[in-house]
């Protein structure tokens, strides 16, 4: 069954993992996946480096997921960065041969110093059309959605129009970027529906576990608004001189990290509650290759509990 068919019947649950950079990390990943499988996820997506820099490990992770007795579906990320038509077709053929027939089509974050993709496709809209024209319904295609607008786009209205173009070019469903501003998410959801975007919306959620990682994810690429509640959590547990210093002089650093993580998990659960109340089509948790924290969040949120 296609993931879009599942989303028509009920809210989907899924995770995102990344290909470990080291052999030791790859050795630990099967244990992490086995714990995630216990929640019966509808799919697990795997990130993909710019220009396919980790395409080998990405394929290894997808194959690892496939080997787990059909417990879930692997979804590979795929970017325009540095990719030619020939290279994209060669890689997609290899994924299909391996049994991976779901993808997230992205432009991708431009590497430092780049002004364009340095490939045949400048935008995800072009990649979606290429995949649809060449593979038809053989590959189910997810695309990114930015509730606050993509940082490189001239306006939110333009961003919504490009999302509609992705749908027109053959995309099947949306995976959203981070969004902590619930009022903005509601406005965006209303806006895309008015624009004729009918694709299911699968909401991407990053567990709030580490202060520096949270700030970095919000501001380094996405320009996400951190709502008052999240800012208060950061302020209450601020590590002096700042959370990015490797060896901060703050004497209470360990306790602050522990307290921040505890409040961050509670905040993440409340965020999930708000999204569920809006009737979104899926919850997509960035597992960060850590199963214990994700398991705690899911058990406390009540989406799926281990009996």
Q: Could you list the active site residues?
A: 16
Helix (H), strand (E) at residue 175: strand 173-176
Give me the helices (H) in the chain, please.
3-9, 23-37, 55-66, 85-98, 124-135, 156-168, 182-194, 211-217, 228-236, 253-277, 291-301
Q: Establish whether the linkage from the previous residue to 246 is cis, with ω within 30° of 0.
A: no
Other Cβ atoms less than 10 A from the Cβ of 26: the count is 15
- Measuring CA to CA, how many Å separate 185 from each of 78, 201, 271, 274, 278? 25, 11, 12, 11, 10
Q: How far apart (Å, rounded) are the C-alpha atoms in residues 58 and 98?
A: 12
CA 167 to CA 174: how far, in whole Å? 9
CA 64 to chain centre: 19
User: Which run of H or of E encompasses 102?
Assistant: strand 102-106
Q: β-pairing, 12-17 with 282-286?
A: parallel
The kind and range of the H/E element at 17 are strand 12-17
């Amino acid at each position: 069954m296609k993931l879009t068919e599942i989303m028509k019947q009920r809210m989907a649950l899924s995770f995102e993992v990344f290909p470990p950079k080291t052999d030791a990390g790859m050795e630990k990943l099967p244990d992490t996946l086995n714990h995630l499988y216990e929640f019966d996820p509808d799919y697990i997506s795997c990130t993909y480096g710019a220009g396919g820099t980790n395409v080998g490990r990405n394929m290894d992770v997808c194959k690892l997921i496939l080997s787990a007795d059909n417990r879930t579906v692997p979804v590979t990320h795929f970017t325009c960065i540095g990719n030619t038509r020939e290279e994209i077709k060669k890689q997609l053929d290899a994924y299909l041969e391996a049994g991976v027939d779901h993808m997230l089509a992205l432009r991708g974050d431009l590497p430092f110093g780049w002004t364009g993709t340095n490939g045949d496709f400048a935008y995800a809209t072009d990649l979606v059309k290429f995949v649809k024209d060449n593979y038809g319904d053989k590959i189910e295609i997810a695309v990114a959605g930015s509730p606050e607008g993509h940082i490189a786009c001239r306006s939110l209205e333009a961003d919504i129009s490009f999302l509609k173009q992705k749908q027109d070019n053959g995309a099947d469903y949306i995976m959203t970027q981070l969004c902590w501003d619930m009022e903005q998410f509601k406005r965006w959801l209303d806006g895309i529906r008015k624009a004729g975007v009918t694709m299911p919306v699968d909401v991407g959620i990053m567990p709030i576990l580490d202060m520096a990682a949270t700030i970095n994810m919000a501001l380094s690429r996405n320009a996400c608004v951190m709502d008052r509640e999240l800012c208060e959590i950061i302020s209450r547990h601020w590590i002096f001189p700042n959370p990015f210093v490797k060896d901060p002089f703050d004497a209470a650093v360990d306790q602050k990290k522990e307290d921040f993580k505890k409040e961050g998990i509670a905040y993440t659960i409340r965020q999930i509650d708000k999204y569920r109340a809006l009737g979104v089509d899926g919850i997509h948790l960035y597992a960060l290759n850590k199963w214990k924290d994700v398991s705690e969040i899911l058990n406390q949120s009540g989406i799926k509990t281990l009996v």
